[in-house]
């Protein structure tokens, strides 16, 4: 499903502008179905989440420092691929892979809040844009992230206690969240392909290639580090997804708002890389389940 969504979105990119408005609704519904599996007691912040966040921040700044002397635009693009918080959809894939939804959800919440707080400072330091105050940028990030992250969680918890029978029925529809994610991915990929085509100029070709390769490197690096870190705590799936699966829609906006617009090609390419890895994981997991 995920490769089909990736290819279909790329091929039909010219029509994605008519469907972009559906993305937040699809993500909300997808997360709502997934969060119905959670209880309020599942949200416990541990040293594991705090250490993983420190790794993410240190890795983003370290990679930026290593690349900025070579190519500032590539350094910006790779930095934003690592710095942005965990995708709001990460619990969906984690659930399908047998990982802990509560760990990923707790890390996603912590990561989004920290990025919203320190992001404007770091982006004002390394970026190219001017004229946006800390308060304005802070509120803009919160407006994009908080409704999609906390809204479906609040509705799921309310439904658990107010309409338990309805909640129970939705609880048995977990597979539907995967298909909603595939449709959302189809729309997002198509929109990003359209953006890349609009941004292309002959003199930008090599930089765009390096941005795509840098995004691949960032994706693989975070996947490996996240899984190894998670393995030390008994859950490599949650560690890998928490660190690797990114809120790329937010990343594209941050790159456009604070950086050279060409840098946004990196998070756009990251969408493809992280979902190719997710597709491989899901196929491998499904194969293992069938053998069992």
Q: Is 89 helix (H, G, I), strand (E, B) or coil?
A: coil
d(Cα 264, Cα 80) in Å, to the nearest integer?
9
Domain boundaries, the chain: 2-284
Mean pLDDT of 67-84: 92
d(Cα 181, Cα 4) in Å, to the nearest integer?
12
pTM of the model: 0.75
pLDDT of residue 244: 92
pLDDT of residue 202: 77
Mean pLDDT (the chain) is: 80
Better-predicted residue by pLDDT, 117 or 210? 210
For the purposes of burial, counting CB atoms within 10 Å of the CB of 11, is it exposed (0-12), middle (13-18) or buried (19 or more)?
exposed
Instruction: Evaluate whether 119 touches 137 at the Cβ level (below 8 Å).
Output: yes
pLDDT of residue 292: 40
Instruction: Evaluate whether 220 touches 230 at the Cβ level (below 8 Å).
Output: no
- Which of 47-56, 116-125, 150-159, 258-267 shows the lowest per-residue confidence on average (mean pLDDT)? 116-125
Instruction: Evaluate whether 90 touches 242 at the Cβ level (below 8 Å).
Output: yes
Instruction: Evaluate whether 63 touches 82 at the Cβ level (below 8 Å).
Output: yes
199, pLDDT greater than 70: no
Task: Identify the sign of the CA torsion 21, 265, 122, 129.
Answer: negative
Q: Where are the alpha helices (DSSP H) in 133-204?
A: 134-162, 164-171, 175-199
Tokens read off for 23 = 């993305």
Around Cβ 252, how many Cβ atoms within 10 Å?
25
Mean pLDDT of 33-54: 78
Residues in the chain: 292
User: What are the backbone dihedrals phi and psi of residue 168, each rounded to the nearest 5 degrees, phi first?
Assistant: -65, -40
d(Cα 179, Cα 102) in Å, to the nearest integer?
21
User: What are the backbone dihedrals phi and psi of residue 254, each rounded to the nearest 5 degrees, phi first?
Assistant: -60, -40
231, pLDDT greater than 80: yes
* 76-134 per-position pLDDT tens digit: 999 999 998 888 778 778 888 888 887 887 888 778 778 777 777 777 777 665 555 66
pLDDT of residue 59: 94
Instruction: Evaluate whether 34 touches 88 at the Cβ level (below 8 Å).
Output: no
* 238-249 per-position pLDDT tens digit: 899 989 998 877
* 149-193 per-position pLDDT tens digit: 678 888 888 988 888 888 888 888 877 877 887 787 788 777 777
**CATH number of this structure's domain 2-284, picked from the four choices 1.10.260.40, 1.20.120.420, 1.20.1530.20, 2.40.50.140:** 1.20.1530.20
pLDDT of residue 67: 93
């Amino acid at each position: 499903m995920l490769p089909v969504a990736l290819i279909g979105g790329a091929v039909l990119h010219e029509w994605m502008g008519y469907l972009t408005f559906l993305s937040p609704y699809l993500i909300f519904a997808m997360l709502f179905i997934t969060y119905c599996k959670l209880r309020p007691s599942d949200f416990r912040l541990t040293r594991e989440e705090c250490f993983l966040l420190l790794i993410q921040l240190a890795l983003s700044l370290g990679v930026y420092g290593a690349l900025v002397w070579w190519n500032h635009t590539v350094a910006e693009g790779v930095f934003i691929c690592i710095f942005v918080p965990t995708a709001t959809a990460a619990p969906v894939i984690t659930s399908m892979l047998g990982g802990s939804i509560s760990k990923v959800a707790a890390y996603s919440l912590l990561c989004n809040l920290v990025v919203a707080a320190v992001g404007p400072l770091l982006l004002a330091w390394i970026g190219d844009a001017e004229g946006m105050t800390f308060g304005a940028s802070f509120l803009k990030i919160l407006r994009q992230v908080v409704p999609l992250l906390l809204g479906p969680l609040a509705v799921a918890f309310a439904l658990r206690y107010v309409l338990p029978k309805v909640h129970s029925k939705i609880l048995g529809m977990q597979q539907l969240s995967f298909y909603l994610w595939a449709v959302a991915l189809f729309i997002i990929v198509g929109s990003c392909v359209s953006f890349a085509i609009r941004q292309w100029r002959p003199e930008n070709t090599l930089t765009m290639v390096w941005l795509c390769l840098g995004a691949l490197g960032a994706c693989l690096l975070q996947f490996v580090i996240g899984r190894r870190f998670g393995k030390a705590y008994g859950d490599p799936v949650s560690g890998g997804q928490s660190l690797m699966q990114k809120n790329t829609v937010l990343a594209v906006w941050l790159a456009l708002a604070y950086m050279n617009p060409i840098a946004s090609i990196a998070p756009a390419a990251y969408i493809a890389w992280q979902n190719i890895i997710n597709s491989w994981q899901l196929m491998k997991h499904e194969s293992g389940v069938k053998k069992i």
